Amino acid sequence: MKKIAVHLAEGFEEIEAISIIDVLRRAEFEVTVVSMIKSVEVDGAHEITVKADTLFDDMDYDKIDMIVLPGGMPGSANLKAHSGLREQILNFNDMKKPLAAICAAPMVFGNLGLLKEKQATCYPGFEDELHGAVITGEAVEEAENIITGKGAGVAIKFALKIVEKFKGKEVADELGAKMIVQ
């Protein structure tokens, strides 16, 4: 079973985080929700508090297959500022392990130089943060080991792209049909 870590920083976009966690668990991935602060209770951008499974400092990234970053502000800026997370992302990229970010969060990858000459998308207004990326404006993009998504309205399609990456298009399409994704 693939193990995916979804990271919550203060000010995360709730729709993105919960949609991603829900879809990936429906697809029978082992999802660990990681708090980027010193508490398992993390406040979202719209004052919804979510209880994470563990703290960043307690994570064993050797056992994780993919890092996922929900967006939102200031959540994405808080993810970008976290040196430990940046180090893990660089390690994953060096090993060609999958990475995914949606909304403003692709800026984390962009600021690390991981999107150079790769097709990517993000929330409008954050394009300058995707240093060297080929910005497409599409809902979801996949380039090599990196998946990016545009924003809250495409969170389920973004999560289904992650399902497709690991389990194939047929499984992702079946799950999408069960969820009445149109």
CA atoms within 13 A on the CB side of 154: 20
Element (H, E) at 165: helix 155-167
Q: pLDDT of 13-49, one tens digit each? A: 999 999 999 999 999 999 999 999 999 999 999 999 9
Helix (H, G, I), strand (E, B) or coil at 1: coil
Q: pLDDT of 142-167, one tens digit each? A: 999 999 999 999 999 999 999 999 99
Residues linked to residue 4 through DSSP beta bridges, in sequence order: 31, 66
Q: How far is CA 59 from CA 10, 22, 32, 93, 133, in A?
A: 18, 20, 9, 18, 30
Q: Do 45 and 75 touch, CB atoms closer than 8 A?
A: yes
Average pLDDT on 110-123 reads 98
pLDDT of residue 182: 84
